[in-house]
Structure 1
């Protein structure tokens, strides 16, 4: 691991400022009724009102440099993501727009690109989607087929992306493509920002079980004209920029999952205290209590690892991949265990939509698979931390 620019510090208690942010985020989220996210999903619209409320309060860009409305680093953004998710608001665009695109543009954008895009990311008026996954290139990003080739004074973008979050609420999409040289060969990855309404950009929704109000899309780029100032990091600077966005992605996904786990355990604990069978609250029985207690242990360990990953990132450590991947893995498992425990604790009520317990299953289970699967995280740990032969 490359030495960080400053010594990483992992505080075990929150500062007064962090506690105030957590409380304020919760107040904003709870000012919307408990069915808000489900209603947005059912009506086919993004959670714009909540997103703008958090943006107006200055919480969507806490990870950005101070001049762009941030200054509290990835650690600050983890508070926002976790607290929002703990109220049932799984804001996937915090991962996509704030964490990935905010980090990439802060590090690799030109002054003009930062001025153009970072204020809208910070205040919620101009969120950006992120497009890397393709039908035939998921974990293996080196097999991307979407291409960018020179034409005149600019470029032409062609290809297809799949499982792209939140395009319906985005002002533009940060697209990962591969540069196609004069011979037609596909080379290194490159990044470009594409307006969602640009000629040649079309999209179709992917039907999903309930996860949250943000939709998933297939996006098609049919000879889309790209100006030079839409490139991020130049023709050959894309791979480094991509990885500078993927570690923040894993950290904020972990924070979201920690929030899901908290919500599940809060609901389950309240129910276990209230539900009485044979004159005894069911939480008094070890079969119920131990299941919830084990999930709580998993959650606290995941939160600790998420904090470590954020601290390493904020300290400027070049390689935070191990901590970010482990945090994402641990948080996804903790969320699944917590939701499973909550459903089992509620019995048949765990499947009643009005209880709001089964809704949590989809977001919890999704994150075991995306944005990097649990299996690929274990491959990473085996190879890079244990020195085992590469298995893929």
Structure 2
């Protein structure tokens, strides 16, 4: 069915103003000031979006689709995500990863969950590997995983500077990055390594070492959780000024953590590196707390709805213009992941759109040309959701 969205205020994420959007199947056919359908010979569904804002569908490149956690024992393994959670967060493209637990959770399970979400209506990709080095893989080879398995776009999240990591050496990290790079070249995929960066003193020193003393491009290295503290943030800003991308995590266990993330995003904007910053939710991942002796004392679960919450709060506080804040969950991750038809409201791009009401609340979600939410009502749920 052809759909026509009329009179919405459009951000591509660049501000365009009032525009009409014609959706042809799963693609955006036209974005014009006015689209006259009087002479169209086909049946068209028309939606009047007067007073509403239309932005690209959100890309969340760090979600534990099959659940995460487990740092406090078996009972602390977090549950897998449901389709409705992603829709309510405005997420139309999601990249799944394993995280801490590559033992009781498998890549095969992650792949199957990604395929299920695809069938239910959104776009999914995954990382091979987990925290551990050497990484777990499907085929026994990082290169083969990226080249031969459709959904694998890179490796991650590989843990560094963290007490939960396998304490990898610089040479081991180099080998992972070079294999990911080769896999990307052979397949036309991103071939990135997503690094889980802990609060350890070294931060991303290994990544600077690789950039300065090897032939591996900086764009194949993608560190996340860079808002743990100020030292990591400013390492990230330095990394961005060298040409790399880095990521801030939006899920936090406290209101104080949320405020810190919003302020750090402002710092990135003021340092003119916002085009090199992404936001990810760490959805369904555990947010564990450890005491000074490293003993587990509790956890919360990452929420995918935190992704847009940080963007919205940043705009409401006048820290960033909306079009700049939107880049961090649309255009920027599409560049990191080499998603050539995602992240923009533009002709021939995928019809992945989020509609915001006058209060900047998520009012509608369109994924691959289909409404999954309209006027705040969920139109689609996961197969086993009640």
Q: TM-score, normalised by structure 2?
A: 0.23
Q: TM-score, normalised by structure 1?
A: 0.23
Answer 1 or 2: higher relative contact order, Cα 8 Å, separation at least 6: 2
Q: Answer 1 or 2: which has greater helix percent.
A: 1
